[in-house]
Structure 1
Amino acid sequence: MPSNDEFDRDTDYIATRITADGRDGFPVEPGRYRLVVARACPWANRAIIVRRLLGLEDVLSIGFCGPTHDERSWTFDLDPGGVDPVLKIPRLQDAYFRRDPHYPKGITVPAIVDETTGAVVTNDFAPMTLDLSTEWTAYHREGAPDLYPEALRDEIDEVAERIYTDVNNAVYQCGFAGSQASYEAAYDKLFAALDWLSDRLIDRRYLVGDAITEADVRLFTTLVRFDPVYHGHFKCNRNKLSELPVLWAYARDLFQTPGFGDTIDFEQIKQHYYLVHTGINPTQLVPKGPELVNWQMPHGREALGGEPFGKGTPPGPVREGERVL
């Protein structure tokens, strides 16, 4: 059990699933649901990437919250009048309260909202992207990659579990540690995992198999935030990502792959962490750096073989209204 000074993420999410057979009462249905995200959030970033890779733009609409939020809720302050144009609400909490007027937990992104009722269906981010891959297949674009191939699922799950516990969540355990001991334990766990990932990726282009899978999506959203946020803000400072040659090249490879880097807004990412986490950054100063142009440098990982989309094809251009400004 975690001690009182360790960061313990609340993982009790709304577990309803949207499935092809509608077994939870919510069948996959084009035009019925809205994916609400924030570009700043790594968990939401997964869903943005997967939706784009699979070509679900025409069947699953998307709403973007701003990069900051108050104690109550993420808000739609990027939209005219601060109101989501489809859901007609200023705060994501309004959709949670339509599901449960006494909803007691945090208002989190990503969330999928039923447009017919305005109520949140699920905010369970881990199965959400898996369902997009496996339950929405009738609406995938032609040439969509298989991000969760059946033959590799056990290995993907195993790798993804360590990525979650020792990387995705460990950076938060560093940043929100309440004691030196809990911080150092999380720090050691994080960098042991990054070393393990470096070893795994030294002679293979992707984490599992010869193409991008769900495991790569889950790792990328932490790596892309590492130098702008986690290295300094969360004190994950043994190395910068740019000082870890294998992971830095791997991250650039993904960043330059359509569907990954074109979802990233570094300014919103920095604004979120440095403005919202006042317990860590009470002055709310947002750093100017680091310089991020190096994400477009050649990575050389094509030499390892593999194709990013397997037998599929890249997604098309980012849709109007969904481009990073």
Structure 2
Amino acid sequence: MSRLSQFRLASPVDTTTYGEYHVTRRADDPRPLYRFTGRITEDGPTGFTPRAGRYHLYAGWFCPWSQRVTIARALAGLDDVVSVSYVDNVRDGRGWAFRELYGPDPVNGFTLLREAYEATEEGFDGHISVPTLWDRATATVVSNDFKGIGIDVGTRFRHLAEPLVVTYPERHRDEIEELDAWLGPAVNYGAAAAGRPGPDGARARAALLDAFATLDERLATRRYLVGSTVTEADIRLWVTLVRYDVGPNAHRAINPGLREYPHLWAYARDLYTVPAFRDTTDFESFTVPGAEVPDWHAPAARPPA
């Protein structure tokens, strides 16, 4: 019997018994939503040093924040350095779980991701999220802060693996973060809000479409958002673009589609030709039932880098 076959799987989603998943936030609770924020450093106080085989990434195919990290992991050449596994696409009040679709937890044999959090903090009462970075050496969660995980994956293991692309180069970090301060609220978070009714939805929709128009103009003369190669800025934007027309805009409630912005749409398709982007994408995991997936294989004429 194989080691994995001995691991149990979670029972099916059961909202009747366990309810819907939600996080109770109290006004008097100062703790962040993403409570674990450890960083991988060579000689820092945390002791989370970059070593091959030490870390495991719990991810979700459906999740844009997870995909940001799995893309960065692939571009950093870490397939044999940082392992990865996937939780099921649906959850109930117990949070994310390991079921037959993607198999058991290969590291700890947990049936619920919650068990990793409770192993780290007894009585954990916060948000159970993916991506989650697990440390085999201390048997604890390092972080569920997707931004920090993505940067560390892209920068801390270069002595162990040759990166395909340096996604967070020092000379471009300020510009990457300036773009994130704008595109995070307007696009990454704004896409879902833009499809909602009422004045808040209208404001989000206006900000999103204005961002798309500005990006379309920017990408008319440059292949990537920053510099001459793919960076963290492209990764952060793309995971929302790939979900836009099959998720928040599946019923074209926001606009006729990403194709309305030809340079932005060509840019998105161009990135899809990169294996790190394409191979970490599972449309079935995040496409709204009945939505038509655009032709991501259509040729994309782009300016030279």
Q: Which amino acid aligns with 1:38?
A: G
The corresponding residue for 2:70 is 48
2-structure distance, mates of 1:170, 1:164? 8
The corresponding residue for 1:83 is 104
2-structure distance, mates of 1:154, 1:236? 35
1-structure distance, mates of 2:71, 2:253? 25
Structure 2 vs 1, CA of residues 36 and 24 (structure 1 numbering), >3 Å: closer, same or farther? same
1:103 aligns with 2:124: yes
Structure 2 vs 1, CA of residues 165 and 155 (structure 1 numbering), >3 Å: closer, same or farther? same
Q: Which amino acid aligns with 1:137?
A: R
The corresponding residue for 2:212 is 194
Structure 2 vs 1, CA of residues 265 and 167 (structure 1 numbering), >3 Å: closer, same or farther? same
1-structure distance, mates of 2:49, 2:137? 13
CA deviations over 1:236-267 (Å, ceiling 9, x no partner): 52231123211110000000112111211000
CA deviations over 1:104-140 (Å, ceiling 9, x no partner): 2211000001124442110001121111122222123
- Please provide the CA RMSD for this pair: 1.9
The corresponding residue for 1:39 is 61
Stretches of structure 2 that go unaligned for 5 or more consecutive residues are 1-31
The corresponding residue for 1:154 is 174
* Residue number among 204, 218, 227 corresponding to 2:245 in the alignment: 227
The corresponding residue for 2:151 is 130
Stretches of structure 1 that go unaligned for 5 or more consecutive residues are 1-9, 275-285, 307-325
1:60 aligns with 2:82: yes
1-structure distance, mates of 2:43, 2:192? 36
CA deviations over 1:155-200 (Å, ceiling 9, x no partner): 111112212111001123335x5x6011111111111111111111
1:251 aligns with 2:273: no
2-structure distance, mates of 1:297, 1:172? 26
TM superposition score normalised by structure 1:
0.79
Q: Which amino acid aligns with 1:200?
A: R
3-state DSSP class of the match of 2:182?
helix
The corresponding residue for 1:27 is 49
- Counting matched residue pairs gives 274
The corresponding residue for 1:318 is none
3-state DSSP class of the match of 1:139?
coil
1-structure distance, mates of 2:98, 2:266? 35
2-structure distance, mates of 1:12, 1:114? 17
Cα offset for 1:305?
Answer: 1.1
Q: Which amino acid aligns with 1:255?
A: Y
Is residue 148–residue 214 contact of structure 1 (8 Å, CA) maintained in 2? yes
Is residue 194–residue 254 contact of structure 2 (8 Å, CA) maintained in 1? no
1-structure distance, mates of 2:33, 2:219? 29
Q: Which amino acid aligns with 2:172?
A: L
2-structure distance, mates of 1:78, 1:62? 16
TM superposition score normalised by structure 2:
0.84
Structure with the larger helix share = 1
The corresponding residue for 2:292 is 290
1:184 aligns with 2:183: no
Is residue 36–residue 113 contact of structure 1 (8 Å, CA) maintained in 2? yes
1:264 aligns with 2:265: no
Is residue 187–residue 208 contact of structure 2 (8 Å, CA) maintained in 1? yes
2-structure distance, mates of 1:171, 1:236? 11
Structure 2 vs 1, CA of residues 13 and 192 (structure 1 numbering), >3 Å: closer, same or farther? farther
3-state DSSP class of the match of 1:17?
coil
The corresponding residue for 1:170 is 190
The percentage of aligned residue pairs carrying the same residue is: 37
